[in-house]
Structure 1
């Protein structure tokens, strides 16, 4: 039997693939481009919805866009009712009532993808678990904190915006551990589980810790609240992110921890997180 991984070249797959390779089952990961070899992992060329025929799939992990994966799953031939573990996002809730139409559409798309996945698994007779992470970091592959860190290292200036909302960054390795635990935990089946990091901290402190983790000195550049309000009114694409700076974006880890036994680490980044 075979474990199939979508999104294996991303930040969660970066940590999960070696863990899977250490187990007994063969591991196949799908990629659009050639990837560096990983012992115990076979890379196949493909891209949703075009997936090569793979026999004997016992489990499927998906860490990429949810709706395309769920659409493929709905039409795939999977006679062995594989266990399905997929990531969604806390944005399914946090952006539900955003003032920005595109963000509301994203939240709806995530929820629709979750429901498509649930229906597809029911058709296959497959158990499923969906993880809804908060802000992900750790492998230098995210599109949130890593671009900020790299820009600051290049310019030697680190913007520190005002904002009191709480954040709960979750390390990609902890997500990989949770996904692997879900594979082995029957009680986690048929559940959507929020997952955040092991620490909630104010937005300003999160950015300050990123700055302190950098391998180069940077000039702190405080951005006052009034300038953020101006930017929010004047720049349409910033209205959503700036509008949430005073909002708590956190997850309740209780159910995930009780079921999976995973205790995400507090936010203590180092320079390796951004490279």
Structure 2
């Protein structure tokens, strides 16, 4: 689809900024859809201001558009938000934008969903696209409901379900982990064995590109994950390697680590990073997608770049 016109939502967010750069670099013209008047982000070919929850002006915004990449929404980091807020921002806004895209005869709708549409914060076995979705929180349920809405509308769509995304400018748990890795002292985390799949924002952008380029209707969700899941000690070791340092990890009973996290109000962060959540990107691999780099190399590069 080189040279085609792509409408992008969420272009000012962490993932959206990277998508704008990557899509422009691939020769696409990118029209960004903004909630409020701001300077047009660098790399955009144009911008339209409007509220996705009330998309009265979407006909003009989507005129001549070949595909929509929808990355805007209420983030999982705002997990304390009411369920109605997640439904409004993540489900209903997606439905209304997709309906507008169908009316505008847009060729494909790429939705940035989440692995949380499929599972809770951890999973006992490796996740595949054949597994029945079982989200456990309002955020995950809102993303799954958005996917179901896309399936009902009848346009050509794909929902990408990325695992935890890392890259320059990342916030939340990955930012906290990077800060921890930069600490000058040894860390008592060497006994943690839970493995987690990660994906770099560059690899996620490549997954979006593969979804845009794939022939024929897709009409289903696709997992986005690097093939080499890591333990939390592996992640810290990779980050510290990028800083030119030894891992500096000491063994400590996991029960004591959990107790310390509860005492300092970090139990949720500990649960998310220490439990296992391994996912396989079989569908994307069949479309020819490959991650930009290994997870270890990507984390090392993130640390060298300063996060």
Alpha-carbon displacement from aligned partner over 1:34-88 (angstroms, at most 9, x marks no partner): 3564245324444432554412332111123275254234335332332110111
Partners of 1:164 and 1:179 in 2: how far apart? 31
Residue 141 of structure 2 is aligned with which of 102, 108, 122? 108
2:73 matches 1:65: yes
Residue 15 of structure 1 is aligned with which of 15, 18, 21? 18
Q: TM-score, normalised by structure 1?
A: 0.78
Residue 33 of structure 2 is aligned with which of 30, 45, 57? 30
- Residues 156 and 218 in structure 2, CA contact (< 8 A), matched pair in contact too: yes
Partners of 1:40 and 1:244 in 2: how far apart? 35
Partners of 2:20 and 2:259 in 1: how far apart? 45
* Residues 48-197 of structure 1: pairs in structure 2 closer than 5 A: 48-51=52-55, 52-53=57-58, 54=61, 55-65=63-73, 67=87, 68-76=89-97, 77-78=100-101, 79-82=103-106, 83-95=108-120, 104-119=137-152, 121-122=153-154, 126-150=155-179, 153=182, 156-157=184-185, 159=187, 161=189, 162-187=191-216, 189-197=218-226
TM-aligned CA deviation for residue 231 of structure 1: 4.5
Q: Which has the higher strand share?
A: 1
Q: TM-score, normalised by structure 2?
A: 0.71
Alpha-carbon displacement from aligned partner over 1:79-112 (angstroms, at most 9, x marks no partner): 23321101111122331789xxx95333323222
Partners of 1:185 and 1:45 in 2: how far apart? 29
Alpha-carbon displacement from aligned partner over 1:206-258 (angstroms, at most 9, x marks no partner): 122123324789976766412233256667872x5544566421111222111
* Structure 1 vs Structure 2 CA RMSD: 3.5
- In structure 2, the gaps of 5 or more residues are 75-86, 124-134
2:294 matches 1:266: yes
- Residues 121 and 272 in structure 2, CA contact (< 8 A), matched pair in contact too: no
Partners of 1:39 and 1:108 in 2: how far apart? 33
Partners of 1:150 and 1:233 in 2: how far apart? 19
Alpha-carbon displacement from aligned partner over 1:138-168 (angstroms, at most 9, x marks no partner): 1222322123324654x64574534211122
Cα 1:38/1:106, change in 2 over 3 Å: closer
- In structure 1, the gaps of 5 or more residues are none
Partners of 1:200 and 1:133 in 2: how far apart? 13
Partners of 1:15 and 1:71 in 2: how far apart? 25
Partners of 1:171 and 1:127 in 2: how far apart? 26
